[in-house]
Structure 1
């Protein structure tokens, strides 16, 4: 079809979509963010998404498009927050201190900080949000807001399709359907990822601390739950690697891969099979007490974090820190996160108590804290000796994880650049804002890859990093290009450089990516 006909076909309905796909307007400087909620229902969103160029081009389904719009822009008549407040696409779907500091500079009245602006919400968060990047969670119920809460980092929502199926060894009437959140019990009701939205709204969206549905917020409809679930399951990667077949070009990284797999060295592959979130024995997500509970996040919390299973406990039932008295709720276990995505989503573990470098997280597993934990003793019994690997293996395993994470970053960048090129070719300058935003988000992933590969010591893949800087220059030129043809040419140049950089990392690092990575 001629381009002029395409433009006339989609331009009018996409004017409405432009409002749908743009973020809620920020508060003006010096003004608190007003509580807002979209007037769009699920059917409105689906109808608008039918006119989205990504949907028309077959890059994204209308359901995933609509689910993304709910995720990023629906406030459910609460305090102005959306899911994207704590899971921003431009920060790997999590928040950390650099992100929070930058947001404070841009807009100190962002809904993330609404607890400071609205007196009725002063117990929604405490100062650890700004000082440690931790959010307040009432994982064990709302009956004691002053004394029954914990502080946790925000789990990213990448690759959920690979990581939430519970291990059969945990089957039982009280077991959640899916492993969500840090302790595997982040969702109410059935404990499914679908119900996680309801739990998130109740915890983080209320307009007052009564948390009364229909007053403090509205609950999602069944259709909104389905659409948001579809979007979340389409984020990140949809498959696992086979680390036995992967070959890494960097010799130390490849040696680290062997240490990762070797039960007499790293033993990492037992609980993080193929650098994912699942246990080697079952291929499913397992809760474990690894001793991380003994590294509290802060000294001003209501209770020490006892992990899974504290709901319904009237009084503390676990000595979280082995202090000689009961001081927390739960059974001490937390679920296993995927680690392909770990290097650029620090700080590590639920407390943020283990630094920003992946090597520090690896080193935790030869600490007495881990060796003396139930998970550490289980590995010792399984292999006949305590876990032990030299400091050199810490560096090597860290390099392995850095290369895998960078490969994931670059595949996301390629996916977004390819989509931007398709849209430029098909729609020319119509909705060029979508093309440009995909280019910007591709550059975010390139920056992540550069940071991940920029390890101290022997540099990782200097030629790849040079090519990635060239790709960034192409993207910058494309963003300032006068028209679609020049923009498309620059996208192609950037894509070629990213592909060349990615190819140098190794072989058989093959990710299947979800469509949700193209939404924002």
Structure 2
């Protein structure tokens, strides 16, 4: 679906009904990932969503509700996995080693690890999934399963509405409609986000490696494709910031903002305009060869990750590592991810090759791999001087991104707490499970903000962190309350403390959030 239609899709008329009934939901704390029936049709889900309290209260459209139910619970008659297996709501819609490790302790037979227990799926993944949170991707075709694949991290699905429209300079007959995945070619067919669901099912959900539709899985219906798209483009934020108008109260973070914008300092704003995923010149997503393909950890059995453009090639066509022979498929380019969400979604780049701190990712741009890359040389030609990124600016830009990410976390926490308060006030203790899960997921975002704000050196917003710990106590009290009134009191107290903590960050950090953040 063209991006111009997303707004009307997201803001579709709300259904307001007064009857409440049970609607399937994912279990908290990682229980039940992928354990779901495929018996429900799209119409069944839409009918159930008309009775979901979030839809009845006008907080979420029934289309987004039904799309979320498909995303988190539909197995497509496959191996038990769902979209939510690799994009869990409680882990920023991605997986990493800590999440995988915790899930292994909780349930080693979770469908994420189905390749270890079903002989027909031995080659679906390899040891890198458990070791580094990396999954196996046949982005260049399934014709040589033993050798023609790459190992990649799982990109989060937050703020897709802002980040996947391709740059006009890359238009052409072979260009995808949307830049999905790490190299901008993650979807089959047209390359649209709508088609990404089909690609994900084929890659990750089959019951055997033949991947035959109707045998290894079922394909989604047209209506399921539309509904899942509606949910995906309603996740995260729907707008970009204007960093020229943002003012941060932390002096180092604010100087990091200036370095981010300054072409003679960070130069970050050219490729990540306003800390998003789009190029400054066009406001659209651009594929670039930044030299990140040379980062460690990108090898497979016989090929390295060459990024975009390897589909249909019978033999390696690129020297990915620059070591003197052809060892990968593609043109060496990867698309640009949004970085407002970055500090909260380590490790970084397509290969998970960097550590858990955003500063490690920023430091890549001070390395020779970047400076000598086509993208690095293009920046040097544009501004006439080599990029200088001293440690002092690296630290300050890191603080900037930490504050922006924490603000995003807290806005989602507020959105969920507000919804829980509305539901408690309207429905009291009816379907209080929805209220409580929204409270729990709000606390997840608060924990993320606390983690993001934890930084070496000068403390970053210690008063805000204290208030956020108080907010967690209010949520705990609300969750343990005997009835809706006391629960609503805990929610209100938490909301006030989160708002006060968020207010310390600065001005003009304004996010428009999608309704999908209220689904799970």
* Smaller-chain TM-score bracket: over 0.9
Moved more, 361-370 or 434-443: 361-370
Separation in structure 2 between the aligned mates of residue 139 and residue 452 of structure 1, nearest angstrom: 32
User: Normalising to structure 1: TM-score of the pair?
Assistant: 0.95
Partner of 2:417: 417
Q: Mark the CA change 1:197 to 1:90 in structure 2 (over 3 Å): closer, same or farther.
A: same
Report how far residue 299 of structure 1 moved.
Answer: 4.8
Separation in structure 2 between the aligned mates of residue 365 and residue 24 of structure 1, nearest angstrom: 39
Partner of 1:460: 460
Partner of 2:240: 240
Please give the residue correspondences for 1:261-300 in structure 2 after superposition, counting only pairs within 5 Å. Answer: 261-300=261-300
Report how far residue 301 of structure 1 moved.
Answer: 3.6
Report how far residue 26 of structure 1 moved.
Answer: 8.7
- Residue 143 (1) aligns with residue 152 (2): no
Report how far residue 303 of structure 1 moved.
Answer: 1.2
Partner of 1:92: 92
1:35–1:79 Cα contact (<8 Å) kept: no
The one of 1, 11, 19 equivalent to 1:10 is 19
1:151–1:301 Cα contact (<8 Å) kept: no
Separation in structure 1 between the aligned mates of residue 55 and residue 280 of structure 2, nearest angstrom: 38
Report how far residue 27 of structure 1 moved.
Answer: 8.8
1:409–1:449 Cα contact (<8 Å) kept: yes
Please give the residue correspondences for 1:432-443 in structure 2 after superposition, counting only pairs within 5 Å. Answer: 432-443=432-443
RMSD between aligned residues: 1.6
Q: Secondary structure at the match of 1:362?
A: helix
Partner of 1:49: 49
Q: Mark the CA change 1:164 to 1:293 in structure 2 (over 3 Å): closer, same or farther.
A: same
Please give the residue correspondences for 1:334-413 in structure 2 after superposition, counting only pairs within 5 Å. Answer: 334-413=334-413
- How many residue pairs get matched? 504
Partner of 2:6: none
Q: Structure 1: which 5+ runs fail to align? A: 1-7
Report how far residue 25 of structure 1 moved.
Answer: 12
Separation in structure 2 between the aligned mates of residue 268 and residue 342 of structure 1, nearest angstrom: 14
Separation in structure 2 between the aligned mates of residue 350 and residue 299 of structure 1, nearest angstrom: 12
1:317–1:328 Cα contact (<8 Å) kept: yes
Please give the residue correspondences for 1:79-228 in structure 2 after superposition, counting only pairs within 5 Å. Answer: 79-228=79-228
Could you list the per-position Cα deviations for residues 321-366 of structure 1 after superposition, in whole angstroms to 9, with x for gaps in the alignment?
A: 0111111000000000000000010000001112111111111111
Partner of 1:252: 252
Partner of 2:25: 21
Q: Mark the CA change 1:478 to 1:282 in structure 2 (over 3 Å): closer, same or farther.
A: same
Partner of 1:497: 497
Q: Mark the CA change 1:479 to 1:24 in structure 2 (over 3 Å): closer, same or farther.
A: closer
User: Normalising to structure 2: TM-score of the pair?
Assistant: 0.95
Separation in structure 1 between the aligned mates of residue 299 and residue 404 of structure 2, nearest angstrom: 35
Q: Secondary structure at the match of 1:343?
A: helix
Q: Secondary structure at the match of 1:495?
A: helix
Q: Secondary structure at the match of 2:188?
A: coil
1:138–1:203 Cα contact (<8 Å) kept: yes
Q: Mark the CA change 1:301 to 1:195 in structure 2 (over 3 Å): closer, same or farther.
A: same
2:150–2:298 Cα contact (<8 Å) kept: no
Report how far residue 23 of structure 1 moved.
Answer: 4.5
2:420–2:436 Cα contact (<8 Å) kept: yes
1:67–1:227 Cα contact (<8 Å) kept: yes
1:231–1:516 Cα contact (<8 Å) kept: yes
Separation in structure 2 between the aligned mates of residue 446 and residue 23 of structure 1, nearest angstrom: 20
Q: Secondary structure at the match of 1:151?
A: strand
Separation in structure 1 between the aligned mates of residue 297 and residue 99 of structure 2, nearest angstrom: 19
Q: Secondary structure at the match of 1:473?
A: helix
1:24–1:73 Cα contact (<8 Å) kept: no
Partner of 2:10: none
Moved more, 380-389 or 483-492: 380-389
Separation in structure 2 between the aligned mates of residue 302 and residue 448 of structure 1, nearest angstrom: 38
Report how far residue 37 of structure 1 moved.
Answer: 3.4
Separation in structure 2 between the aligned mates of residue 131 and residue 22 of structure 1, nearest angstrom: 26
Please give the residue correspondences for 1:312-323 in structure 2 after superposition, counting only pairs within 5 Å. Answer: 312-323=312-323
